[in-house]
Each structure stands twice: as C-alpha cells, then as structure tokens.
C-alpha cells in the first residue's frame, strides 16, 4: 500500500514543532474541552482554509466546510443532515457567539450553478447546489448584461445571503439572534485583492472590513 508521504511528513513536523507552550495548550483543550466563540461555515475549496485565513489556533474556530459554504433551511428529518447537525452542535452544545458564512471568489460550486449544470438527478452536488438556485435566478435577472465573471461574483455573494436567511429558520438560532447572544455575519473572501468583505444590512452590499 502506498501511503501519502507528504501527509506523514507533515504530521512528523507537527509533532516536532510541539513545544511546552503548544503541549500545554493541547492538554488544556482536551482536559477542559473546547469553547470556541466562532463558528465558520466555509467552502471545501483547498485554498480557503478558515484557520489559515484568520490565523487561528486549535480551539478557536468551530468549522463546518461543505461545497460552496451553504446552509440548508430547517427541513424534515429525512436523510442525513451533516451541516445542520454541526450547526446544532456549535450553537446548542458549544454556545458559539458568532456564525460567519464565509464565501469566496471563484467558487467551483457556484460556478457549476451559474453554468446551469444542476439538473443531473445522479449528482449529489447538483442536488446540494439547488439550495441557492434562487441566488442564480436573481443574478440572471438583475445582472443580465454583466460579464460571466461579474455574475459569478454576484451569485457567490447572494448565496451567502440565502444561507444567512436559512440560519434564521432554526428556532435555536433565531432565538439567540433575537436575544443578542448570537451574531450572524456574511463575509466574502476576495482572493485576488486579498480583501475580506462583509455584508452590510443597511446598504445591502458587501463592503471591506
């Protein structure tokens, strides 16, 4: 059996780099348990690892990653709801104080959606991306004369808003948001310009943070 040596070498470096400070941090985290303040819904894309982007240490971020950083709405309990189960754990068990839906530029999932390729009944991705088909339809309507690149960016951002709205369909999120103990954020990573944009509900636009 051929093992992925790159990963094994990485683990060796990880172990060697442990110093008394990181050892203490890990033992504290595993003895006392995790208490992250931030829950990030990010994309599986290999270029947008939230822990690297936000320069965070173990224990600081509770991260859910899926194709195109989507949040499904509160639905009937059929099938297996990985994203929803992780959300529930982060909010109800860990008591996170912030949820960030982190979208990004050149998202492959949104690209598939915009190219009209979400009609394959045999594709789990197509079924998943249909969650934000309303974003595609609104972009095609509002940005009819825009370039494909501009439409993609607009859809990546509108999909974040669909996910933010879906978050509020869960009573245990809506209640905490209304009480002010949980804040919801829609952020967009502009990789090309190394910029982080945040959705401003007052202007309904994404602005540099």
Binding site for Zn ion (CB under 5 A): 43, 45, 107
Q: How far is the CB of 188 from Zn ion (least distance, A)?
A: 11
Q: How far is the CB of 37 from Zn ion (least distance, A)?
A: 24
Whichever of 40 and 43 has its CB closer to Zn ion, that residue is: 43
Whichever of 39 and 105 has its CB closer to Zn ion, that residue is: 105
Whichever of 45 and 170 has its CB closer to Zn ion, that residue is: 45
Q: How far is the CB of 104 from Zn ion (least distance, A)?
A: 6
Assess contact for 99 and 39: CB atoms under 8 A: yes
Answer positive or negative: Cα dihedral of 85, 90, 92, 97: negative
Whichever of 45 and 197 has its CB closer to Zn ion, that residue is: 45
Q: How far is the CB of 43 from Zn ion (least distance, A)?
A: 3
């Amino acid at each position: 059996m051929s093992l992925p040596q790159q990963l094994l070498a990485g683990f060796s470096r990880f172990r060697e780099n442990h110093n008394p400070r990181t050892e203490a941090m890990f033992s504290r985290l595993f003895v006392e348990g995790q208490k992250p303040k931030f829950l990030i819904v990010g994309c599986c894309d290999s270029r947008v690892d939230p822990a690297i982007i936000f320069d965070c240490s173990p224990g600081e971020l509770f991260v859910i990653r899926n194709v195109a950083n989507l949040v499904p709405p509160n639905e009937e309990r059929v099938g297996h709801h990985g994203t929803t189960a992780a959300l529930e754990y982060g909010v109800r068990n860990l008591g996170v104080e912030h949820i960030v839906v982190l979208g990004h530029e050149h998202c492959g999932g949104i690209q598939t959606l915009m190219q009209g390729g979400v009609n394959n009944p045999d594709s789990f991705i197509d079924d998943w991306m249909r969650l934000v088909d309303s974003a595609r339809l609104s972009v095609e309507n509002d940005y009819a004369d825009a370039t494909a690149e501009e439409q993609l960016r607009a859809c990546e951002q509108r999909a974040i808003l669909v996910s933010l709205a879906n978050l509020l369909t869960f009573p245990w999120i809506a209640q905490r948001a209304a009480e002010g103990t949980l804040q919801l954020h829609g952020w967009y990573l502009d990789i090309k310009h190394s910029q982080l944009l945040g959705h401003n509900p007052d202007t309904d636009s994404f602005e540099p943070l």
